[in-house]
Structure 1
Amino acid sequence: MMTVQPSPTIAITRLANELRRQGRDIIGLSQGEPDFDTPDHVKEAAKAAIDAGQTKYTDVDGTPEIKRAIVGKFARENGLSYDISQISVGTGGKQVLYNAFCATLDDGDEVIIPAPYWVSYPDMVRLAGGKPVIVACGEEDGFKLTAERLREAITPRTRWLVLNSPSNPTGAGYSAADLRALANVLLDHPHVMVMTDDMYEHIRYDGWAFSTIAAIEPRLLDRTLTCNGVSKAYAMTGWRIGYAGGPEKLIRAMATLQSQSTTNPSSISQAAAVAALTGPLDFLTERNAMFKTRRDLCLAAFNDIEGLSCRTPDGAFYLFPSCAGMIGRRRPDGRAIETDIDFATFLLEDAGVAVVPGSAFGLAPYFRISFATATDKLRSACERIEEACGKLSR
């Protein structure tokens, strides 16, 4: 446990809450949670499940109903063919990923994680006894892993490659061509499994097309765990339902592990997720349009601030601006901005805006904001950040 750090996003939120208790007006842009409500048809399905008495234990890793809904979703939306015996359902996407690592990693097994990465990947690997192998993927490569870097990172101890598209924290998305290039490398290394985290699949912009690697290269299907959930697209973060499709042997091992930890996910949440996965997706059009408006508002603001720059994301609801131009400047109190952590701390203390430093995601000097919040708050936050940056002297 001494090697594991608490989630930096939660730590920033905790500090921001402490400042709020002190009377400060803090705009929180650190947590990735849609401000939209769960769709009505999903809520109604949950109420109906309660009224019908669906409040008992279910199968450990998901009811037959939710597994059938997931099989249908994978076939309909991703061109992937699974049997219900190849489906795992957990209490949020994080549990599904963690179960997979615990079920497969021996001490010293390596997991390739492109950086910037979601903050939980490396620590989940460490908790399972594995070794995270961090591969820096700079802005010059669109924050994406290249085939050459993947080939260099693979060793005989490599057990997994983790891919997240669109990405948290950058919003970068792997195209079909990107995935084809990575797949060609993986075909030469049959001992390497692939974990794809597709949680932000439906949140995308500017015509960018989502792809997942097992569909691009069917020969990888039997060693790919395709992970997803209902949290982001359906605004169901609190319902805690994640799922995955993968090799039956792995799914059985994950179920055994889950049977001795949490047992089944909430029966009511599973019923709600069935409605989400089998229901309409038309509500996403309006929500994605709103996300795009917010994205463009913040992009324009940050790119107009001297010392900041930001790449346009393909999907998700994050921006990952570079603050390299701020390193070396001084705060009004004379303290130097030496790292992105210093810069994030300055924004919180001076501007009252909570962001997450890029070093938490394995790449500095950057910072992440979530634009999944009210537009007026985002506008105010951008104005505060601009004013605060103007106070920094060279």
Structure 2
Amino acid sequence: MPLSETLRAPVPAERMSRVRESPSSRVADRVRAFQAAGRKVLPLTIGEPDFDTPDHVKEAAIAAIRAGETKYTSANGTPALQRAITSRLLRKTGQSYATDEICVGGGAKQLIFLAFVATLNEGDEVIVPAPYWVSYPDMVTVNGGRPVVVATTAADGHKLTPGRLREAITDRTKWVVLNTPNNPTGAVYSEEELRGLADVLRAHPHVSILCDEIYDEINFGARPVPSAVTVAPDLRERIFLVNGVSKAYAMTGWRIGYAAGSARLCGAIGTLQSQSSSCPSSVSQAAAVAALDGGREFIDRTVRIYAGRRDLLVSGLDAIDGLRPTAPEGGFYVWTDSSALMGAVTPSGSTLASDTDLSEHFLETSGVVVITGDSYGCPGHFRASFALSSDAIREAVAGLAHSVSLLRR
């Protein structure tokens, strides 16, 4: 065999052609390039809390290490973490889950991915309301499914309505994805809105509901954020609730997510995890127990800070001619309509024809970085994070105002 044949690298599978690079990763690379060139960057792209993990959570991890809790655990988590999760779910939803109805994974993202691996056959459809979190469509596609993107409107609060859901369902529909509070819009579904969607789904027993509630503790209205399983307990077997400790407890790097659903689905996910990552980190699981079983002081304090930052960013963006921000009900992002700036001309004579053109203009003229709306299936918008200091937000808003002032319309 020729040497060139023995050195040939593995050829990526056809499925890899269906997966796009994460827009967040693309933006991060662009930011690093600017910083490497010595240019100041003001990132409104941050998708994680800027707070540190609470001390009692860190101490629980240290204690676990010292106690020798550093071995493999069950694929679906330690008994202590399963108890903490079921207690938290009972407090929030009023539903009592058995341990075989609980999944624990390396982040909520992994559990969503594994749910699609476990359930999607080639050509199955998944209804994804837009604006959507950037990973949903690609997770569906790489697992042989077809994302059915359903546009929402500002008039409907960027939320899926019963009518649009009914129109999107076919015989091939396997899942509908509900993300509340939503990334990127911050929209929260009310109990009444969830009941309306549940009424539609009762007529379609082949459709399951994936509820991504990862931002549910970061909300600025009534608590707790309404959950589909609370308003429609008769659909419990078809509802897969996904959550984690990353956002609420500033534990993004600890990589612990959890989910609740049918024993059959959770068992399948456990099998997949046993054959891939074996189990989540034992030390991170001990930390997650301390987070879920601890008091609310950290959450309440950080949500108050987020609320002030939200108001600062919304008011600042609203004062810029051509930008129309929506005040989020939850999460730490402001979704902003920038469609009025399309067609404007930059100082260099270029016409803004796309979201990318606008984001490049912001970056080049003020160093402010946002994530474009087309990344979320909704061109003519951008997402700006307020998971950064108030001073940084003020500086970024001033930069955006300067960039917009340079445009000719």
Q: TM-score range by the shorter chain?
A: over 0.9
Pairwise CA distance, 1:209: 5.3
Residue 92 (structure 2) pairs with residue 77 (structure 1): yes
Among the aligned pairs, what percent are the same residue?
A: 48
Pairwise CA distance, 1:197: 0.3
Match in the other structure for 2:259: 244
SS of residue matched to 2:19: coil
**Aligned partners of 2:262, 2:54: CA distance in 1, in Å?**
32
Q: Which runs of 5+ in 1 are unaligned?
A: none
Residue 31 (structure 2) pairs with residue 54 (structure 1): no
Pairwise CA distance, 1:31: 2.5
**Aligned partners of 1:198, 1:246: CA distance in 2, in Å?**
14
**Aligned partners of 2:82, 2:138: CA distance in 1, in Å?**
29
Q: How does 1:132-171 map to 2 (within 5 A)?
A: 132-171=147-186
Pairwise CA distance, 1:207: 4.0
* 8 A contact 2:23–2:134 mirrored in 1: yes
**Aligned partners of 1:113, 1:390: CA distance in 2, in Å?**
36
Q: Decide which of 295, 302, 326 is 1:287's aligned counterpart.
A: 302
**Aligned partners of 1:208, 1:264: CA distance in 2, in Å?**
32
Pairwise CA distance, 1:95: 0.3
Q: Decide which of 292, 306, 326 is 2:341's aligned counterpart.
A: 326
**Aligned partners of 2:223, 2:363: CA distance in 1, in Å?**
33
Q: Structure 1 stretch 55-64 or stretch 44-53: which is displaced more? A: 55-64
Instruction: Say which one has the larger Rg.
Output: 2
**Aligned partners of 2:156, 2:146: CA distance in 1, in Å?**
25
**Aligned partners of 2:223, 2:260: CA distance in 1, in Å?**
24
Runs of 4+ in 1 over 2 A off after TM superposition: 206-209
Pairwise CA distance, 1:61: 2.0
**Aligned partners of 2:164, 2:137: CA distance in 1, in Å?**
18
Match in the other structure for 1:93: 108
Pairwise CA distance, 1:177: 0.5
SS of residue matched to 1:301: helix
* 8 A contact 1:303–1:309 mirrored in 2: yes
**What letter matches 2:44 in structure 1?**
L
Q: Decide which of 164, 185, 188 is 1:173's aligned counterpart.
A: 188
**What letter matches 2:392 in structure 1?**
K
Match in the other structure for 2:41: 26
* 8 A contact 1:175–1:209 mirrored in 2: no
Pairwise CA distance, 1:374: 1.1
**What letter matches 2:28 in structure 1?**
T
Q: Which runs of 5+ in 2 are unaligned?
A: 1-15
Match in the other structure for 2:12: none
Q: Decide which of 14, 20, 32 is 1:17's aligned counterpart.
A: 32
For residues 172-229 of structure 1, the C-alpha deviation after alignment (integer angstroms, 9 at most, x for no partner) is: 0000001000000000100000000000001011447511101110111011101100
**Aligned partners of 2:21, 2:44: CA distance in 1, in Å?**
18
**What letter matches 1:253 in structure 2?**
A
**Aligned partners of 1:153, 1:355: CA distance in 2, in Å?**
31
Residue 122 (structure 2) pairs with residue 107 (structure 1): yes
Pairwise CA distance, 1:10: 1.4
Q: Decide which of 321, 341, 345 is 2:360's aligned counterpart.
A: 345
TM-score by length of 2: 0.95
Match in the other structure for 2:4: none
* 8 A contact 1:13–1:28 mirrored in 2: no
Pairwise CA distance, 1:284: 1.6
Residue 311 (structure 2) pairs with residue 296 (structure 1): yes
SS of residue matched to 1:2: helix
Match in the other structure for 2:247: 232
**What letter matches 2:405 in structure 1?**
G
SS of residue matched to 2:374: helix
**What letter matches 1:248 in structure 2?**
A
**Aligned partners of 2:164, 2:365: CA distance in 1, in Å?**
40
* 8 A contact 1:13–1:31 mirrored in 2: no
For residues 300-358 of structure 1, the C-alpha deviation after alignment (integer angstroms, 9 at most, x for no partner) is: 11111111111111010000100011001011101111111211111112110111000
* 8 A contact 2:19–2:141 mirrored in 1: yes
**Aligned partners of 1:95, 1:62: CA distance in 2, in Å?**
14
Residue 286 (structure 2) pairs with residue 253 (structure 1): no
**What letter matches 2:170 in structure 1?**
T
Let me know the Cα RMSD of the aligned residues: 0.9
**Aligned partners of 1:349, 1:61: CA distance in 2, in Å?**
47
Match in the other structure for 2:238: 223
* 8 A contact 1:79–1:215 mirrored in 2: yes
**Aligned partners of 2:103, 2:300: CA distance in 1, in Å?**
29
Q: Structure 1 stretch 207-216 or stretch 312-321: which is displaced more? A: 207-216
**What letter matches 1:377 in structure 2?**
A
* 8 A contact 2:93–2:229 mirrored in 1: no
